[in-house]
Every structure is written in C-alpha cells, then in structure tokens.
Structure 1
Amino acid sequence: MSDELFKRIDLLSKEKRELLEMLMKENTVSETTYVAPRTPVEEELANIWSQVLGIERVGIHDNFLELGGDSIQSIQVVAKVNQVGIQLTSNQLFEYPTIAELATVVGINPALQAQQEPIIGSVPLTPIQKWFFEQNLEEPHHWNQAVLLEVRPGQDPALLEQAFEQLLIQHDVLRLRFEQKQGIWQQSNQGLGETVSFSQFDLSQIAELEQASAIERIATELQSSLNLCEGPLMKVAFFKTGEQKPSRLLLIVHHLVVDGVSFRIMLEDFQTVYQQLTFGEAIFLPPKTTSFQQWSGLMTEYANSQELKQELTHWLTQSPQTQPIPVDFPEGANTEESTGIVSVSLTPQETQALLQKTPAVYRTQINEVLLTSVVQAVSKWTGMRTLLIDLEGHGREAVIAGVDTSRTVGWFTSVFPMHLDLEKVDDLLDTLMSVKEQLRSIPNRGMGYGWLRYCSSDGEIIQKLSALPQAEIIFNYLGQFDQVFAESSTFQLAQESYGLTNSPKATRSHLLQIIGKVMVGQLQMNWAYSTNIHRRDTIENLAQCFIETLRSLINHNQSNSSTSFTPSDFPEAELSQEQLDQLFRN
C-alpha cells in the first residue's frame, strides 16, 4: 500500500483501521507467486479444485472466484470434498475462497450419512414445482430437460441400458409420480422394480444428411411421451448411425425431477457405471447425500420459521411497479411454439479473460459481470435506469445444518425478483459496482423468496408476495460445461437437435429469457423471445448491445492494473462506498 493510502487509513477509527489493514494484507497475499499445498487437507482441496476447474496447478493462495469458479462448480467441489471426509459447504467456499483459508475452517470428520435405502412415500412439493403447476399448462407432461450424446463406435447398447437402470436405483426422484387430488398436485416416491424406458433406432440405412432430421423427429415424439401419473419420467434412446460410426444417445428427463446441477450428477454417475460394467467390475457409486424427500420436508418447516419471515420486508420491496418493456406486436401470444433464439458469444480468449482476469480486477463473480451487461443493454433499449428482473439460482444454499444436497438429484432451482436501481450511477464501472453490491445484499442468494411465496402456512404472506408486479425478463447463468466430459471420454455432446423439450402449446413465463453458459471454452448467451411479440432485429440489437458492453468491461480490466473495491469486499470493516473511494482514490 502507498504512503498516501496509509495516511487515509489513519483517519479512520482505531477499530476500522486495524480491521481494514488486516483485510488488505489478506487480499494482497493472493497476488503473490504460487505456493504449493503444505498439509494433506490442502493437498486434497488443491487436487479437487484442479479437477473441477480444469486447471493444472492450484496454489493455496489462489482465489476460487478468480480462477473462474462459480456457484454450480462450488457444489461440485463440495460433493468431491465431502466424499474424502472433509466437511465443507458452498457458503464456506465463498466466504473463504482460498485453500489456505478453507483449510482452517473445514471439518475433518466422516461424511454425514444420509439414508442409503430406497426412498418411498410422499414428498412435499418445492417452490419451483408449485410454480410449475401454477402455470396450468395444457400439456404438463411435456416440459423436460434433455441431452444428446455422441457415442464412440463399438459400444454395447445393453450395457448402456444397464447403466441407466442403476441411475433409477441410485437417484430416487427418477421414480417420482404425480397426481392431482381435489385440484392439488402431490408427488410420491415409488419403490424399486421400475425398468428404464430404453429404445433403439437403426438409422444406418438412412442417408447421412437425413439422419439429423430423423433424430430430431424421433426425439420430439419421445419428448412428448412422458407420463406424470404413471411414468416413466425418464426415457433413453440409442441411435445407430452406421458401422464404425459414432452412435447417438438421447436422455430425456421431466424437469419436475431434475435441474442443471442434477443433470451433471446423473451424467457423471452414468459414465462411472458404464465404465464399471464395460470392465466387468462391481457397481460402486459415491454414497447418497440428503434425499430430496428429507430436504423438501426440512425446507417446508424452514418456510414457516421466524428466521425466514425476517426476509419478508426485503422481498416486499423488490418488486415495485415498473414500466413494461417495449414490444413490437402488443397483441401477440407468448407461446413456446413462437420461441425464437438469438445467440451471441465471446471468443475463447475473451472468455478466459472473463472467467479468470475480470474477477481479480473487479472482485466480482461471473454472474455479476453478465448481469451488469444485461442491465446496461436493457436500459439503453427502454430508456429506464431501473429494472425488475427474475434471477435463477441453483437453490441448494446451505441454510439448514447437517444437510448436504451436493449429490442429490431433484428440481432445486430458486427463482426470485431483483429490482436493480441504477439511478445514481453514471459510468459502466460504477454500474458494475452497484450491481455487485445490490446482488450481495440479497439474503441467502434469493433462496428464501420461493419458500415464503409458495410454501408458507401464512396465507397473508403468500397473498402479499403473489400480488407484487411480475418481472418480464429472467436471467440464468448455468456455468461451465467443459468439465462434464473429458476429452478421452466415450461420450461427448452431440451437435444435432434433441427435439422440443417443451410443449409448443405452453405459454412462456417471461417475454425475454436470457441464458448463459460456457461451452468448448466460449461463453454463449442465448436470448429467447416470442416472434409473436418481438421482431428478431429488436432482440438482435439488444443482444449485440449486451455483448459489446461485456467486451468493454473485459477490455477495461485488461488495461487497468488497479483493483476496484466495494463495501462487500470488507464486510467486517463496515465502510461505506464513499469511504472506500476516498481511501483508494488515485
């Protein structure tokens, strides 16, 4: 620190001065050279970070966020760490983002033992499941998540089918059934005995140019054939494309029982089991973590706790009346059938800078940088400096002690409103700092909103939250998908379409859906809209403004050697932004 900065710190109160100097010292440690792990715990943590983040060497002072880590990868880290007997939560990973810090707070105990026997019986609906049924869709059975894989030649379809049979045993929610009683939807877990729906299609006699359309046609038929009441909720299809040619493997699961994190868990377990079957080994998967049934029951109790009710005031102020976003065709129907998608992306070099350089300079998380670019683009479009937007999260925040959902399959997703106010900021960097602080002021990363809105036993709470204005835009960053399949894996993501995951008759929940993910080393942002409501060039201009703003932030951080601090970087010091600005000016 400069002499001038020390003089400014001296003007603070003794307590704030000592605390800030200590925190500043901690912050500068990470800028030093690589320091290797010193203890067995640090060694385990470094190895696991390396696996999850795809980075060859991790030092004990490297910052998880500055290495490109995100909230979904934090869950993967927690799952692997807990398997080796080190107790860690995702909250701790964000609070202590270096291995040196983490090693001082993790517990060295045997992993918490969840129920390993099959889960049977009633399961309370989660907020996102209740939201789904609240949509009153015409074809609720057709609302899925899916993946199409390219399979190396020579694989045995019978072993593939056996591998998915093991997933039905391991992941209880794949055996859920839904029924409506007196207008209220309920779910219950079935026991073992169900066989996986596995179909085979020989396309080897079809011209290669026509195979992709055949896969898409068959896939769409399968997507629309799930049954909520009788099952199955998962279907698998194997497509033979020719001798010595890569086959295709389609996995379809109804969204009521999986989310993005769950799909990663399932694909990891599928690869593990298939490899074990191929080599004639005994089936062995990591132990189950807290069941979806137990988690939902505990969270339903939490929904009625005084602790959670303290969040109500926050949520009642997050949805003020705002101007609707502009539309080109006011009378258009916002249907799934009318969905159009505009995609924009960064180069691999820009993506690397976003993931690993931007967090260090701005002390931000990836979603904060992306959301800032979204807000800026929408603001230029609407002329408004405020935005009501729904944000999606993984919904697995550690709010109940003794609960571990890091390897639990289910639909955990949280959706919550965020009212972003940028009236008092001018330039792009100030906007980023403001968005960062507003996001970090949200309690428990937004998880509590849904539990209050849908699962409280207090009808007045539900009524108040239901009556608030609804956002027309939703944003979700899904994280990095490059680590799902190793280059040497038998399976890779295929390029062909896996059909329509949602019924074309369904009404879309938002006018704009913005989804980001990193694939093959590149950030891709999809802007989904209704062609009945917006012209394509309207959304193209919006998406282009977004990507230009994002590039501006990346370029600024590459040309700027100084770090930008905000109060959330030093929460214990209780300093205002004005005090920090005075301390770090010039």
Structure 2
Amino acid sequence: GKVDRRALPAPDTSRPELAGGLVAARTPIEEVLAGIWADTLGLEQVGIHDNFFELGGDSILSIQIVARANQAGLNLTPKQLFGHQTIAELTLVAGINSVLQAEQGLVTGEVVLTPIQRWFFEQEFAEPHYWNQAMLLEVPPALDIVLLSQLVQQLLVHHDALRLRFLRSASGWQQVNALPDEAVPCTRVDLSLLSETEQEPAIEATAAKLQASLNLSKGPLVRVALFDLGRNQPSRLLFVIHHLVVDGVSWRILLEDLQTGYQQLSCGLAMKLPPKTTSFQGWAQRLSEYAQSTMLGQELDYWLAESRFWVAPLPRDYPQGKDANTVASARNVAVSLSSLETRALLQEVPQAYNTQINDVLLTALAQVFVQWLGTRYVLVDLEGHGREEILPGVDLSRTVGWFTTLFPVLLELRETDPPGLALKSVKEQLRGIPNRGIGYGLLRYLKEDAAITEKLRRLPQAEVSFNYLGQFDQVLSPDLMFQIAKESSGPEHSRLGSRRHLLEVNALVAGGQLQLDWTYSSNLHQQATIESLAQGFLTALRSLIAHCQSPEAGGYTPSDFPLTQMSQDALDTAFTSIEFEEG
C-alpha cells in the first residue's frame, strides 16, 4: 500500500541501548566507517564496538555501506561486514583487498539471461512488456525539465542495464545491451490549470498510460514524467522502469544518483557519478560459467530433499481453478507495527539470539501458517537481493539490474514450540541454505542439464512468497529534495496477467514503521481470511519481540560457531555447564 510518510512520526535516530558503552572512533579509518554507518543506519552516532545487526543493520544496508566505503577509498565486501560485525573488527580487514577494475565505458552487446529473467519469461505473461516497478516522487516546483532530461540521459549512459532490450526468436528470448538513444524518455505534463481535486486523478491516469507504454524490443525500458501542478505547488516526478532491468537495491542507487546528479547540474557543474562496479553483462556471464561448476552441483541434494514433498496446499475460500488467480482480482491487506515496536524489532531483538530481521519475520510467518495449515511444514518462495559473493573479483554494490533470487524454503516448526525455540530453529534452517539460495535458480535455469531442470521443476511449488525490501528512511530522508508522493504511480502489472503465488507478503520499513502488504486474489480468498492471517502475523511478531526483551531470553545456535559443528543440544549443554561453574 501507499505509505503517507508525512503522517508517520520521524524515525528515532538515537543510538540503541547496547551491552557496552559508546566507544568513539580512534583512527581515521574508524572515523570514516563510523560516519558511513551512522548515515546509512540513520543514527546520530555509532561506537566502534557496536554490532552492525544490533544497530538495525541488514544485508541490503550492508551493500550500501560497502558502496560508500569503496567511494571513500576503503575496500570492503558484504561478506567481511557479516564476518566482522563491529567497526573495530572491520577496520582490521578494510583495504586489504585489491581495487576491482570495472569497465567504465559503455557496455554493449549480448547479455546472458539470468535465472530470475528466465523465470519471468517462463511465466508466459499475456503482456510481458507491462510488468514494471515505479516510484512517484514529490519534488520542488522549480525542478527544471531541461536539467532533468540531461540527468535521465546520463543515468541511461552510466547504468548500462537501463538500456537492455529483449528480443524473441524461435530459440527463445534474448537480451542485448543497446547504445543510448538520441531521444530521452522524459516528458513534462502541465496540470497547473486543473484544480487540486482534478490533479490527482489526472496524475494517476497519465501514470497508468505510461506504465503500459514500454516496449521490450525497442526500448528504452524507462519512462520519466514531470507533473507541473502550479507555481506554488510541489511537482511530481514519476519513474517507471520495467522489472527486467531493476530491483529494490537498484532503486536505492538510482535515487542517490538522482539527488547527486541534479544538485551538480543545477549548480552548473558537470555531472559526475561514482565509478561503475561490475557490469550486469559481466555478472550474467560469470554466473553462466559458475552454473557448470562441480561446486554448484554439490547443492543439488539440498534442493531435492525428500521432505520438500511433505507440504500441504494452502486452504482456499473459493474452489476456483488455477486460471482464477489473476492480476485483475488482486487485492491488498496492509498492516504495520508501531514505531516503538519496529525499533525493538530492529535493534533489541537481534541481541537475544544473534538473529537478523529475516529470521524473525519468517519465524512469525511460519507460526501463522503452521496454525492455519495444521501441519509442521511450510513452503515459502523467498526473495533475496541476489548480490551474493560467490565469485571472486566481483563488486555489485553500485550496479543497476534485476539481481533478485527466488528460491523455495521449507520451514519446519511445531505449533507448540515456544518463541525462543521457534526463533532458533528457523534461524538455523535459514543458515542452512547454501549461498543464500542463489544456487537454486542457477541449477534450474543455467545448469544446462535437462534432467536436473526437470527434477527441480517437478518439485511442489510454493503458493506463498515473502520479500523483505529493507529500510527506506535513509534513502528518502525528510531533508532530501525528493520525497515519496501520496498519489498512486499507477498499476505496475497488466490486468490481463496471471499471478504466480496465491499469497504475496512484502515487508519494508518506512517512516520508522514496519509495513506489511498481504496481496491475494479475491477469486480465491475472502478479505476476512487474509486480514486474520495478517493480524495473526503481527500477534506472533509481537510475541517474539516481547520474548527477546525478557530476562530469560538469549542463547546461541550452531551457526554462531561454524567451526565446532556442534548440535543445538550439545551447545545448550555446554553453555549450561559454563553458567553452572560460574554460578
């Protein structure tokens, strides 16, 4: 749903209460990292012994930190940040890696289709050109259309994936990186003579037309429109980009470049963006090569485990066929946590069991579905940002494209499991996924082994998907020129299309609050059913938060000690013995 950020309280920027006191930076490198962490996490100050995840960090924020550190002359990777979770530890490895040299010129030519792109074309949507992501921004009334056009042109030059084209042939779909077009896909729409009540529907009608106007083969797969609402009224800026060439992390990069680039141009300066990182073309080619490796083949047993067949279908209120799950019938139920609850989720909960936010959100999701299904197995298609460190010499921290991974996660949980046990169990199941799930798509779509592809295709398919999109308060903070607008950016998918999942759960943090959208088909489920699930999810989440804040909460799991290979029972026994001896 559309979040009215102005109606939400300002995010709390104070440092959370951690186990240790604040220790300020002592060296120039620590000072640089502390500044980057504070800025990215939206905090006033950060100590060198503060844990990244206990400050509210997540995997998407780690990519932003890496990008900013690299721009400051420090070489870091997300994997290093996950392995060295304080600034003091991170400083010891910063700058050790050699600088990666990425192509800085125009990238053109054929590009291998990635697994998520192959998944897209496998769906055979009725109108594949109409499957976008969009953002409608509120901008100052004096925004210059000439400068904006220059900016858009430079973004298309700099971010090569925005110039991708998709061609269908007898052998299937292909993608090609084209040269920049002479025409810039940027228009000005004058609505200044309309009344305020007339302007909103006019914006949404124009946005709907632009959403349907993309052409996969001719391109460009970007549309930009500046809506003039009058001299004293903030304008609106619409960006529509086909999902084949953009994802959630890419939007953060583009919004940052939009802000930086416009400020440079408006001051009469040449537009200068940070250096390019590994191209989408290069990444796709390396993925294709990695897909044939014996290392990837070792993951196959995990993805073909027999337990994956022990799943029950989701209950339906209306016994319609598969064709009933249409985009036209999609409805949405939106729920949220309070600012206080969200702060606890991000900054207090991780301290109890060394968890990350996806561990907690998926535990609550599993608890709700286990109760609904009456079984202890829940199959979920999990979306990840996909920028995984599986290949040496690759840096994707500032690369635009569709990198998303989509992979089935089988969660096992008993309805009677207490909160702490449930959280530790789901945490370990998620840590057991090889390389954060990227291998599933590689095996299914790029392995070039028909037998493996067929085995994976015949597995039970998840009917629910889950995607945590991360935190957006630092990307669109109140002091920036661009803010999220209250109006709709138009329908992003063709109403003629079909939906892959019966339920889609999308979560993000905006305005200091965790927002959750539950999307379903009114042909298959009643609104009351989905509202009950969404409220049940919040109840489960609040229970997990309360437990992690309680004195009896806390403990470790085997993934916290990867070199020991101990079971959970053995680990619990060992720590009980230590506590007994100390007591």
What TM-score does the superposition give when structure 2 sets the normalisation length?
0.93
Aligned pairs for 1:276-315 (under 5 A) are: 276-315=264-303
How far the C-alpha of 1:582 sits from its partner, in A, is 2.4
Runs of 5+ unmatched residues, structure 1: 1-29
Aligned pairs for 1:423-434 (under 5 A) are: 423=414, 426-434=417-425
Question: Does residue 491 of structure 1 match 2:482?
Answer: yes
Letter in 1 for 2:469: L
Cα gap change, 1:31 to 1:118, in 2 (>3 Å): same
Cα gap change, 1:425 to 1:573, in 2 (>3 Å): farther
Letter in 2 for 1:497: S
Check conservation: 1:425, 1:434, Cα contact below 8 A.
Answer: no
Question: Does residue 331 of structure 1 match 2:310?
Answer: no
Number of corresponding residues: 557
* 2:336 match: 345
Check conservation: 1:372, 1:432, Cα contact below 8 A.
Answer: yes
How far the C-alpha of 1:277 sits from its partner, in A, is 0.5
Letter in 2 for 1:568: S
Q: Which residue, out of 465, 471, 478, partners 1:474?
A: 465
* 1:263 match: 251
Check conservation: 1:151, 1:249, Cα contact below 8 A.
Answer: yes
Check conservation: 2:310, 2:377, Cα contact below 8 A.
Answer: no
Q: Deviations over 1:241-267 (max 9, x none)?
A: 122101100000000000000111111
* 2:11 match: none
How far the C-alpha of 1:209 sits from its partner, in A, is 1.8
Cα gap change, 1:130 to 1:208, in 2 (>3 Å): same
Q: CA RMSD in A?
A: 1.5
How far the C-alpha of 1:330 sits from its partner, in A, is 1.5
Q: Distance in 1 between matches of 2:329 and 2:247?
A: 24
Question: Does residue 574 of structure 1 match 2:562?
Answer: no
* 1:72 match: 60
Runs of 5+ unmatched residues, structure 2: 1-17
Aligned pairs for 1:123-522 (under 5 A) are: 123-317=111-305, 319-331=308-320, 333-423=324-414, 426-522=417-513
How far the C-alpha of 1:108 sits from its partner, in A, is 4.1
How far the C-alpha of 1:195 sits from its partner, in A, is 2.9
Check conservation: 2:42, 2:474, Cα contact below 8 A.
Answer: yes
Q: Distance in 1 between matches of 2:548 and 2:418?
A: 14
* 2:8 match: none
Bigger mean CA deviation after superposition, 377-386 or 271-280: 377-386
Bigger mean CA deviation after superposition, 39-48 or 228-237: 39-48
Q: Distance in 1 between matches of 2:421 and 2:376?
A: 13
Q: Distance in 1 between matches of 2:505 and 2:554?
A: 29
Letter in 2 for 1:263: W
Q: Which residue, out of 86, 91, 111, partners 1:103?
A: 91
Letter in 1 for 2:556: F
Check conservation: 1:128, 1:412, Cα contact below 8 A.
Answer: yes
Query: What is the DSSP-based 3-state SS (H/G/I as helix, E as strand, rest coil) of the residue aligned with 1:87?
Result: coil
* 1:540 match: 531
Q: Distance in 2 between matches of 1:61 and 1:137?
A: 50
How far the C-alpha of 1:124 sits from its partner, in A, is 0.1
Query: What is the DSSP-based 3-state SS (H/G/I as helix, E as strand, rest coil) of the residue aligned with 2:563?
Result: helix
Q: Distance in 2 between matches of 1:71 and 1:127?
A: 21
* 1:18 match: none
Query: What is the DSSP-based 3-state SS (H/G/I as helix, E as strand, rest coil) of the residue aligned with 2:250?
Result: helix
Q: Distance in 1 between matches of 2:559 and 2:415?
A: 18
Q: Deviations over 1:14-52 (max 9, x none)?
A: xxxxxxxxxxxxxxxx73211122222222221111111
Letter in 1 for 2:138: E
Bigger mean CA deviation after superposition, 531-540 or 373-382: 373-382
Q: Distance in 1 between matches of 2:555 and 2:180?
A: 55
Check conservation: 2:504, 2:518, Cα contact below 8 A.
Answer: yes
How far the C-alpha of 1:233 sits from its partner, in A, is 0.2
Check conservation: 2:110, 2:175, Cα contact below 8 A.
Answer: yes
Q: Distance in 1 between matches of 2:183 and 2:558?
A: 54
How far the C-alpha of 1:299 sits from its partner, in A, is 0.7
Q: Distance in 1 between matches of 2:304 and 2:274?
A: 42
Q: Which runs of 4+ in 1 moved over 6 A?
A: none
Q: Which residue, out of 46, 61, 74, partners 2:34?
A: 46
Query: What is the DSSP-based 3-state SS (H/G/I as helix, E as strand, rest coil) of the residue aligned with 1:192?
Result: coil
Check conservation: 1:68, 1:356, Cα contact below 8 A.
Answer: yes
Check conservation: 2:547, 2:553, Cα contact below 8 A.
Answer: no
Question: Does residue 549 of structure 1 match 2:540?
Answer: yes
Q: Distance in 1 between matches of 2:552 and 2:55?
A: 17
Q: Distance in 2 between matches of 1:511 and 1:154?
A: 44
Query: What is the DSSP-based 3-state SS (H/G/I as helix, E as strand, rest coil) of the residue aligned with 1:147?
Result: strand
How far the C-alpha of 1:321 sits from its partner, in A, is 4.0
Query: What is the DSSP-based 3-state SS (H/G/I as helix, E as strand, rest coil) of the residue aligned with 2:137?
Result: strand
How far the C-alpha of 1:532 sits from its partner, in A, is 0.6
Q: Distance in 2 between matches of 1:85 and 1:183?
A: 45
Q: Deviations over 1:532-568 (max 9, x none)?
A: 1000000000000000111111122223364222111
* 1:25 match: none
Q: Deviations over 1:469-500 (max 9, x none)?
A: 10000001000000112322111011110000
Query: What is the DSSP-based 3-state SS (H/G/I as helix, E as strand, rest coil) of the residue aligned with 1:73?
Result: helix
Q: Distance in 1 between matches of 2:372 and 2:416?
A: 17
Check conservation: 1:85, 1:110, Cα contact below 8 A.
Answer: no
Bigger mean CA deviation after superposition, 554-563 or 52-61: 554-563
How far the C-alpha of 1:110 sits from its partner, in A, is 5.9
How far the C-alpha of 1:109 sits from its partner, in A, is 5.7
How far the C-alpha of 1:83 sits from its partner, in A, is 1.8
Query: What is the DSSP-based 3-state SS (H/G/I as helix, E as strand, rest coil) of the residue aligned with 2:188?
Result: strand
Check conservation: 1:391, 1:475, Cα contact below 8 A.
Answer: yes
Bigger mean CA deviation after superposition, 468-477 or 156-165: 156-165
What TM-score does the superposition give when structure 1 sets the normalisation length?
0.93
Q: Deviations over 1:142-190 (max 9, x none)?
A: 0000000001222212211211111011001111111011040000011
Letter in 1 for 2:269: E
How far the C-alpha of 1:140 sits from its partner, in A, is 0.3
Q: Distance in 1 between matches of 2:473 and 2:184?
A: 28
Cα gap change, 1:299 to 1:476, in 2 (>3 Å): same
